[in-house]
Structure 1
Amino acid sequence: MVKNKLSIIMTAYNVANYISSSIDSVVAQTNQNFNLIIVDDCSTDQTQKIIRLYEKKYDWISVVCHTKNSGVSAARNTGLSMANGELVTFIDGDDWVEPDYVDHFLKIFNDEDVDMVTCGFFNQNENGKVKNKVAKRQTSIVGRDEVIKQIIKMTGTVMGYTWNKAYVRSIIEENNLGFQTDLDLMEDQVFNVEYATVARKFYLDNVPLYHYISRKGSITQKFAVENVRDVGVARMKVYKAIRDSTRKEKDQI
């Protein structure tokens, strides 16, 4: 087996109350063929102290701390620059994953010739109550048009998140893909659409393996003029990525 088949990028900012649970869920993975890169975006609480303790304890955990708060997109980009796995995925530092989260991705990438694999998720509040319906397991292999349709949908088990997907790192690097640092919202949807336009086949699976915790006061819970602007800019970037991809395909015919 290739060492560190999967690189997990965990971003953190002032999540001292939650980060241990998140890391512990990664430690408990049934498949250990991965490394964990934790990027702290200049936390002002005890987050850095906690993640440094984990870094000392486990040789497969690497920590990098921003000296200036730069946002989640910049943190993910830092993680991508450090990733050495053949595959890459993302976890938010206040969420957690099921024990077979890693094994799910590695098994499907090993068995199928695809460029992205997804999983389902539990959308929970801080008290642990699950807000979304978990449907009967369904899997499918789809092309670009269908996966983009699923990514930009506001419902379903695919959507624009990065933490329920694993990617081929070489595709990201060869196409200079990264997260838009001028967006605080929907930056993950833009990244996913741009990735989809340069990838080929996608394995969609709704088995719920990620626990997304909706917390009061998070940026996605707030409504502000800046957020409206971000949504507009993100939609334009999504449209441009799809349009450019369509033109490129027509030129190749």
Structure 2
Amino acid sequence: MVKNKLSIIMTAYNVAGYISSSIESVIAQTNHNFNLIIVDDCSTDQTQKIIRLYEQKYDWIFVVCHKQNSGVSSARNTGLKYATGEFVTFIDGDDWVEPDYVEHFLKKFADYDVDMVTCGFFNEGENGKVKNKLAPNQTSIVGRDEAIKQIIKMTGTVMGYTWNKAYIRSIIMDNNLSFQTDLDLMEDQVFNVEYATVSREFYFDNVPLYHYISRKDSITKRFAMENVRDVGVARMKIYKAIRDSSRKEKNQLQ
């Protein structure tokens, strides 16, 4: 068995009150064939101290600390540089995952010849109340067009998030994919569309394994007006990725 088959990239910025719960949920995984890369984006609270203590305790945890705050996209890109697993996924440092989160991804990749695997999620308030409606378990294997359609939808269990998806790392590396550092919003959706345009088949599953915590100080709430620009830029990038992919396919058929 390949050691550390899945690389989990956890990004953190001033999440001292939550990061331990997030890491503990990873420690509690039923399948331990993974490593954890924690990228701290120059936190000013006790986040770095906490994650260094975990790094000292577990040899499969690796910590990288940015010298200056650069944003979540930059932190994810840093994590990708240090990832070694065949597969890769992302966790935010103030969220947490179910014990079979890793097992789910690794088993589906082993059972099916696909380039992406998804799971469902709980959208919770800080009081622990679940906001989203959970549907009966549904699975499907879809092609590129349907995958992109689900990624850019504003509802559903797929959407543009990275934390409910696992990817083949070689596809990311071979196509020089990275997160857009000039965006504070929808950067994950752009990444997912770009990944989808160079992939073949996708395993979609809505079993809820990720706990996304909606916090009052989230960037989408704090900078509503400023985000208008990011939405426009992100949509342009998504359109370009889809257009370029369609052109490439047409040229290959000629």
TM-score of the aligned structures, taking structure 2 as reference length: 0.99
- The residue that corresponds to 1:14 in the other structure is 14
Does the residue aligned with 2:121 lie in a helix, a strand or coil?
Answer: strand
**2:95 corresponds to which letter in structure 1?**
D
| 2:156 aligned with 1:156 | yes
Does the residue aligned with 2:122 lie in a helix, a strand or coil?
Answer: strand
- The residue that corresponds to 2:224 in the other structure is 224
Between the aligned partners of 2:181 and 2:175, the Cα distance in structure 1 is 17
- The residue that corresponds to 2:101 in the other structure is 101
| 2:51 aligned with 1:51 | yes
Map 1:52-71 onto structure 2 (within 5 A): 52-71=52-71
Between the aligned partners of 2:134 and 2:224, the Cα distance in structure 1 is 31
| 2:84 aligned with 1:84 | yes
- The residue that corresponds to 1:167 in the other structure is 167
**2:20 corresponds to which letter in structure 1?**
S
Does the residue aligned with 1:185 lie in a helix, a strand or coil?
Answer: coil
1:226 positional shift: 2.0
Over aligned residue pairs, what C-alpha RMSD do you find? 0.5
Instruction: Give the count of matched residue pairs.
Output: 253
- The residue that corresponds to 2:241 in the other structure is 241
- The residue that corresponds to 1:114 in the other structure is 114
- The residue that corresponds to 1:2 in the other structure is 2
- The residue that corresponds to 1:211 in the other structure is 211
Between the aligned partners of 2:132 and 2:224, the Cα distance in structure 1 is 25
1:155 positional shift: 0.2
- The residue that corresponds to 1:39 in the other structure is 39
| 2:201 aligned with 1:201 | yes
Runs of at least 5 residues in structure 1 that lack an aligned partner in the other structure: none
Between the aligned partners of 2:213 and 2:51, the Cα distance in structure 1 is 20
1:220 positional shift: 1.7
1:223 positional shift: 4.0
Between the aligned partners of 2:222 and 2:41, the Cα distance in structure 1 is 20
Between the aligned partners of 1:101 and 1:13, the Cα distance in structure 2 is 23
TM-score of the aligned structures, taking structure 1 as reference length: 0.99
1:174 positional shift: 0.2
**1:209 corresponds to which letter in structure 2?**
L
Moved over 4 A (4+): none
Does the residue aligned with 1:35 lie in a helix, a strand or coil?
Answer: strand
Q: Deviations over 1:76-111 (max 9, x none)?
A: 000000000000000000000000000000000000
- The residue that corresponds to 1:134 in the other structure is 134
